Amino acid sequence: MAAAGRSFPRRVLRFGGRALVAWVLLTLLLVLPVRWLPPLTSSFMVQNWVEQRSLGASVDYAWVPRQKISRRAALAALAAEDQKFFSHPGFDVESIRKVWKRKGQSRQPRGASTISQQVAKNLWLWPARSWFRKGLEAWFTVWVELLWPKERILEVYLNIAQFGPHVFGVEAASQRYFRQPAATLSAAEAALLAAVLPSPDVYRVRNPSRYTTRRQAWIQRQAGRLGDELPAARWSSRP
């Protein structure tokens, strides 16, 4: 009887160890291939399609490699969403601390999610806020940072970010709103696309609000200061 009692914790530990190994292997299977292969879709795209299919809406998504994405678009995304992207390990601790300090204020504080966290959330998770979702987001963020180079993370982000209703990725957005490929976006156009990233269901590229145009101008100024962050040869610099 005593031996049976001692073996139970061992079985629990053995099961827990196997479950952890299986979870790590599943994570590797989900994360590692995207280092080289473009994702066919994302969790957010699938959810968007499911929510809107009764209206006959389809998801507009077109993957392009970073050599076909304007360097201006990459700099605008960094300026708008994560100016410390190349210096942090996936989490901006200082911004998280500031958000917690503002948590009790009446106005809704801007989140502290980095581009790496947004990639993890958009690719594999769901938008609803919960500690469980945030925990999974942190888990996938760690693996994304471990397995992908920084420029790959930014490349994936620009290709799966939502820029408007049913519009995902900078190429689809550029074609939809400016009738041109993402490779030829101007600094002003790139900044306008980046200005809607916090909430593409609220802010609009077409007929932008006064707030959006002010944010566009701010992003354009900030992007000009981040010019040294990206090697020009790896992104499109077409006029």
17 and 97 in a single domain? The answer is no
Structure tokens at 86: 């190349």
Average pLDDT over residues 27-38: 97
Question: In this predicted structure, what is the pLDDT of residue 127?
Answer: 87
Q: In what order do the strands lie in the sheet with 60-61?
A: 60-61, 167-168, 162-164
145 and 203 in a single domain? The answer is yes
Rounded to an integer, what distance in angstroms lies between the CA atom of residue 46 and that of residue 44?
Answer: 5
138 and 20 in a single domain? The answer is no
125 and 169 in a single domain? The answer is yes
Residue 67 falls within a domain, yes or no?
Answer: yes
Give 94-117 pLDDT, tens digit per residue.
Answer: 877 777 676 655 444 455 799 999
Q: What is the CA radius of gyration of the chain?
A: 20
Q: Note down the domain range covering 21.
A: 1-37
Question: In this predicted structure, what is the pLDDT of residue 147?
Answer: 98
Question: Which pTM was predicted?
Answer: 0.90
Amino acid at 52: Q
The residue behind tokens 């594999």 is 124
E strand map for 111-211: 162-164, 167-168
Structure tokens at 58: 């389809």
Structure tokens at 150: 């920084």
Give 201-232 pLDDT, tens digit per residue.
Answer: 899 999 999 999 999 999 999 999 998 888 87
Weakest mean pLDDT among 16-30, 137-151, 220-234: 220-234
126 and 18 in a single domain? The answer is no
